[in-house]
Amino acid sequence: MTREPDFTLSELMITAAAEAFRGDGEILVTGIGPLPRVATGLAKLTFEPGLMMTDGEAFLTEDPVPLGAKPEDVPGFSGWMPYHRVFSTLWSGRRHAMVTPVQIDRWAQGNISCLGDFARPKVQMLGVRGFPGNSISHKNSMLIPSHSKRVFVEGEVDVVSSLGFSDARWPEGMRRPEIEIGRIVTDLCVMDFNGPDHAAQVISLHPGVTLEQVQGATGFPLLRAADMGETPAPAAADLEIIRRLDPLDMRARAVKGNPPGVRQAA
């Protein structure tokens, strides 16, 4: 007998995203957006207690602040992390961020700046923000709520905001820093760029998803990791923490249609 699925896709994605931070130890983690933020809290409360995180503004907290918290629910602070310390921390490499680029290419480069020609953009987006400095300094993981060829583009991203493994833009003769890309968690699968020559590979498929389906939604070739399996379901204890860190169920709106974690066979 199999149990009825009792977790949503967003909860599965949070659990998979938390794994990105395993082994990180005592560094600053920043999850940008509701699912990455809950994922950092889940990692800290389950297997990486050393992680440092903020209240979303300028203070460090040991108890992750729930999404949508009221002022009276904010726990005490363990330290101060205003932006000038965020920059000195991230430039030293002691940080891991999870971000959501609008475009990602086969070299793991990300774009949040604009679409089209930079001089006269078709669509202005956020600008490069902190992506160039983050990606040359510390590890970055990504969370993509809607896996498609519009995100995972065929060619190069329109504006290289975060770095990957392309050789195109480095000054000649420069000793290059190591670029670290962590996990890419999408609504279909978990990927990384740890294939041969940093090729993209699928390391697990979400329940009910096929590799062909993922490839069909990706603009560049994907490899199947040697030990590719199914993305593990959240444990009951994980779900309890997720619900505590997101009491208003903002995660339900983070993935279109809020589907169940186990998709029905087509």
> Distance of CA 103 to CAs 87, 114, 147, 151, 180, Å?
24, 10, 11, 4, 18
Contact 133, 97 (CB under 8 A): no
DSSP secondary structure letters along 31-45 = E-SHHHHHHHHHHHH
Identify which of residues 135 and 201 has a Cβ nearer to other proteins in the complex.
Answer: 135
* Size of site (CB under 8 A) for other proteins: 51
Q: Binding mask 156-185 vs other proteins (x if CB under 8 A, - otherwise)?
A: ---xxxxx-----xxx-xxxxx-x------
For the record, the structure tokens of 215 come out as: 């490839």
All residues at 6 or more sequence positions from 259 whose CB lies less than 8 Å from its CB, including other chains: 8, 9
Quote the DSSP letter at residue 198.
Answer: G
- Please, which of residues 54-83 interact with other proteins by CB under 8 A? 55-59, 65, 69-71, 74, 82-83
Identify which of residues 7 and 131 has a Cβ nearer to other proteins in the complex.
Answer: 131
For the record, the structure tokens of 43 come out as: 């990692």
Residue 121 within binding range of other proteins, rule CB under 8 A: yes
Identify which of residues 72 and 212 has a Cβ nearer to other proteins in the complex.
Answer: 72
Give the chain's length. Answer: 266
Identify which of residues 69 and 199 has a Cβ nearer to other proteins in the complex.
Answer: 69
**Residue numbers at the binding site for other proteins (CB under 8 A):** 55-59, 65, 69-71, 74, 82-84, 87, 90-91, 113-114, 118-133, 135-137, 159-163, 169-171, 173-177, 179
